[in-house]
Amino acid sequence: MNSRIFLFLATIFSGFALIRIPLADTFLASIEPVTTIIGVLAILIFSLVLIYYGVRNLFSK
Protein backbone atom coordinates (compact mmCIF):
# COMPACT_ATOMS: atom_id res chain seq x y z
CA MET A 1 0.00 0.00 0.00
CA ASN A 2 1.19 3.46 -0.83
CA SER A 3 2.47 5.27 2.26
CA ARG A 4 1.31 8.61 0.87
CA ILE A 5 -2.29 7.51 1.40
CA PHE A 6 -1.71 7.42 5.16
CA LEU A 7 -0.16 10.89 4.94
CA PHE A 8 -3.25 12.15 3.11
CA LEU A 9 -5.50 10.61 5.78
CA ALA A 10 -3.44 12.24 8.52
CA THR A 11 -3.79 15.57 6.72
CA ILE A 12 -7.57 15.15 6.58
CA PHE A 13 -7.66 14.42 10.31
CA SER A 14 -5.52 17.47 11.03
CA GLY A 15 -7.94 19.54 8.95
CA PHE A 16 -10.76 18.36 11.20
CA ALA A 17 -8.62 19.25 14.21
CA LEU A 18 -8.09 22.78 12.86
CA ILE A 19 -11.82 23.22 12.45
CA ARG A 20 -12.68 21.93 15.93
CA ILE A 21 -9.87 23.62 17.93
CA PRO A 22 -11.32 25.90 20.61
CA LEU A 23 -9.61 29.27 20.32
CA ALA A 24 -12.21 31.37 22.12
CA ASP A 25 -10.96 33.31 25.15
CA THR A 26 -7.32 32.98 24.07
CA PHE A 27 -4.95 35.38 22.41
CA LEU A 28 -5.35 33.31 19.21
CA ALA A 29 -9.08 34.04 18.92
CA SER A 30 -8.46 36.52 16.13
CA ILE A 31 -7.05 33.83 13.82
CA GLU A 32 -9.91 31.37 14.31
CA PRO A 33 -11.47 32.16 10.89
CA VAL A 34 -8.10 31.52 9.24
CA THR A 35 -7.68 28.13 10.92
CA THR A 36 -11.21 27.18 9.91
CA ILE A 37 -10.58 28.08 6.27
CA ILE A 38 -7.26 26.20 6.22
CA GLY A 39 -8.92 23.17 7.82
CA VAL A 40 -11.77 23.10 5.30
CA LEU A 41 -9.35 23.48 2.39
CA ALA A 42 -7.14 20.67 3.70
CA ILE A 43 -10.13 18.35 4.06
CA LEU A 44 -11.48 19.14 0.60
CA ILE A 45 -8.19 18.97 -1.28
CA PHE A 46 -6.88 15.78 0.26
CA SER A 47 -10.26 14.06 0.13
CA LEU A 48 -10.36 14.77 -3.61
CA VAL A 49 -6.82 13.42 -3.96
CA LEU A 50 -7.81 10.21 -2.19
CA ILE A 51 -10.87 9.86 -4.44
CA TYR A 52 -8.65 10.38 -7.49
CA TYR A 53 -6.21 7.69 -6.31
CA GLY A 54 -9.09 5.32 -5.65
CA VAL A 55 -10.66 5.79 -9.07
CA ARG A 56 -7.27 5.55 -10.78
CA ASN A 57 -6.51 2.32 -8.92
CA LEU A 58 -9.95 0.94 -9.76
CA PHE A 59 -9.48 1.38 -13.49
CA SER A 60 -5.82 0.33 -13.69
CA LYS A 61 -4.76 -3.20 -14.54
Q: Domain locations in the chain?
A: 3-58
Tens-digit pLDDT profile for residues 4-45: 899 999 999 999 999 999 999 999 999 999 999 999 999 999
Tell whether the model's pLDDT for residue 46 goes beyond 90: yes
- 48 pLDDT above the threshold of 90: yes
Q: Cβ(15)–Cβ(43) under 8 Å?
A: yes
Compute the distance between CA of residue 60 and CA of residue 21 in angstroms, rounded to an integer: 39
> Is the pLDDT confidence value at 54 over 80?
yes
DSSP letter assigned to residue 17:
H
Q: What is the pLDDT of residue 19?
A: 95
